[in-house]
Structure 1
């Protein structure tokens, strides 16, 4: 087997398992909410832990990918993330849940920067675009994770054995995959941050990631609650599952869509799908319209972050690891604002009205992407 193929398979396993782990946690949010008797505002406040922790982890992750081969922080962070997943299931109070989520999110941030840096390096070595397929595997892992959770919920399996078993499998798979990872990928230039006036190239990409993160992160955290409280479905994971399914489908074909339409038009298409899907779910809050709406949102959000990370890797000012770390900061701020904001809006008004924020975030992709490509053309 060719070395590049081995490296791609190993990296694919990490992307898949990361999606599986994250969806295992996210699809259990309604269970945690009920177990700890949290209202929407309290849950929103607790969810603030994750983006705050991620923001704290950004300088560390940027330093690690510039100091070591990415396979080192990637694997160590993933192992810690898997262990913390089991701690989430063991949390029996708001305080212990916050501690578990803090460590879970911190390790996830280091992993995400490392794995995306390695993905972009592999794509540069490949003869075709492959970054979208990596993110498609993350979403596929998410689908399998939420489907597995749905099965366990229907069988009334408790959360502790569920999350613990997922953690054990992930640790074993990561240790087996480590030796096949890409080596000698440490960047020798572009590793220092330049303080002062923001680089407009990075700024526009960061804003695109920010609004995508508001939509994507919000749907991760609130789609199950929406189906439970607004659509009133007993199997509340249905909305999350359809969202993740169409996100995975879109990511597997996003590279072809980009080649056919170009990145500029793909951003416009993504915005239109997000806006339409959210509006449909709000206007007709019943099972099938909401399922169609959530599928459109999943299809729309899917391409934005991998496409933007690819553009970040082309920065002439920063190395791929530092560029991704910088724009990931905007994504963390999006997650810092998005999910908690939905909780507060839902508490003040109702959950259905609060979802209007996602529609606004989606449509903002159009003017920002147009401004970016005008800048890119001017710099060429």
Structure 2
């Protein structure tokens, strides 16, 4: 019996904490160097937006295709392949920057984004499987590990900027680190997580049809709406919170950055403590409570009248928004049969909210102001709270005649 097949799920859990952090390190490393890359390429902000679209397009490609691939070859192989794409994409972006070749940077971001999107689905499928094996809520903490990875990547990126390291050198070191860690640890993961026996024998068209069928499942669509509302709340804060505080409350840029730091801190705390609350009180009550916290927080930000009151709102907003995405993915993976397709579908909805929602909020804010535009975010989390019952766990009989909580 090979290492992957005989591995203790607790060891798999520990490895996943590390592997979840790697995409966070990569993503934050890219974000930290975007001002430098823009200046080197000598492009406008609008042109930089077009370049960054390559990352969004690649991410959607990875998200939409990965469920089908996992069902045929298993999550472990996809995790290795996604790391390869991230590494190659990072190197291409670094080289494109070094030679001031805009098209090469765009291509690199498409490749990087494809690996990033594929990793998000494959890691969540593995994480959901470990949850079921250990009968313990883990995905929020796994996503907390991703948040810690972004913090590490941001710190490394800030250091690279301070030392004036060339982007190609910075990204090259990150790529080597991701490759080395993944190559060493992926072999300890189970072989066939998410693999469907029927998928390996089905023709491609029939398998794709089966993968798309999950989008017709009422429960998955409602879970998707929950994730949509919560991910929109998270993505909107990531993109607009500092500017919202500056424009809405007249604070300086440093204070706006502190407010965003408060939000990220609240998100991280919520994700690392969420597992305890979920195991004690259950998904539905925690999701409802999270939606209420997020809604109160957003209300305080919109109508708080003073930046300190808004700061309290930012804290509640971050705590409330922290669990919606990981809990939705956990709920999508309740049934091991077809888990890859369902987790992939819900993850796609969540990342569409990240990618499409915030720009739309900016367009609305241009006309009514960013504070008033947040009313749309408030509506989203309110709807998520109202339909949170859709995430109620499915009672599945296991091989040991026990039931999932």
User: Which TM-score tier does this pair reach, normalised by the shorter chain?
Assistant: 0.7 to 0.9
- Using the size of structure 2 for normalisation, the TM-score is 0.77
User: Contact 2:137–2:278 at 8 Å: present in 1 too?
Assistant: no
The 5 Å alignment of 1:69-148 reads 69-88=74-93, 90-91=96-97, 92=100, 95-148=103-156
Shift of 1:322: 1.1
Shift of 1:118: 1.0
Paired residue for 1:193?
211
d(CA) in 2 for partners of 1:349 and 1:42?
A: 26
- Which is worse superposed, 346-355 or 63-72? 346-355
Closer/same/farther in 2, CA of residues 66 and 376 from structure 1, 3 Å limit? closer
What do residues 167-187 of structure 1 show as CA deviations (whole Å, max 9, x unaligned)? 332222212212222223223
Shift of 1:114: 0.9
Structure 1 counterpart of 2:333, from 302, 309, 313 = 313
d(CA) in 2 for partners of 1:160 and 1:224?
A: 29
- Which is worse superposed, 342-351 or 197-206? 342-351
Paired residue for 1:302?
322
User: Contact 1:345–1:354 at 8 Å: present in 2 too?
Assistant: yes
Q: Does 1:61 align with 2:66?
A: yes
d(CA) in 1 for partners of 2:296 and 2:143?
A: 23
Paired residue for 1:252?
272
The 5 Å alignment of 1:1-380 reads 3-29=8-34, 38-39=44-45, 47-88=52-93, 90-91=96-97, 92=100, 95-153=103-161, 159-185=167-193, 186-188=195-197, 192-193=210-211, 195=213, 198-223=216-241, 231-234=251-254, 238-283=258-303, 292-315=312-335, 319-348=338-367, 350-370=369-389, 372=390
Shift of 1:261: 3.0
User: Contact 2:215–2:345 at 8 Å: present in 1 too?
Assistant: no
- Using the size of structure 1 for normalisation, the TM-score is 0.82
Provide structure 1 residue ranges, at least 5 long, that are not aligned to the other structure: none
SS of aligned partner of 1:193: helix
d(CA) in 2 for partners of 1:168 and 1:375?
A: 40
Shift of 1:86: 4.8
Closer/same/farther in 2, CA of residues 227 and 110 from structure 1, 3 Å limit? same
d(CA) in 1 for partners of 2:359 and 2:91?
A: 23
Higher relative contact order (CA 8 A, sep 6+): 1
| Bigger Cα Rg | 2
RMSD: 3.6
Closer/same/farther in 2, CA of residues 289 and 18 from structure 1, 3 Å limit? farther
What do residues 246-270 of structure 1 show as CA deviations (whole Å, max 9, x unaligned)? 2221111111111333222222222
SS of aligned partner of 1:314: coil
- Which is worse superposed, 221-230 or 356-365? 221-230
d(CA) in 2 for partners of 1:182 and 1:24?
A: 29
User: Contact 1:120–1:310 at 8 Å: present in 2 too?
Assistant: yes
d(CA) in 1 for partners of 2:36 and 2:366?
A: 19
d(CA) in 2 for partners of 1:223 and 1:167?
A: 30
What do residues 50-74 of structure 1 show as CA deviations (whole Å, max 9, x unaligned)? 4443333334211210111211111
d(CA) in 2 for partners of 1:227 and 1:160?
A: 34
Shift of 1:37: 5.7
d(CA) in 2 for partners of 1:227 and 1:203?
A: 34
SS of aligned partner of 1:129: coil
Provide structure 2 residue ranges, at least 5 long, that are not aligned to the other structure: 1-5, 200-206, 396-405
Shift of 1:76: 1.6
User: Contact 1:273–1:297 at 8 Å: present in 2 too?
Assistant: yes
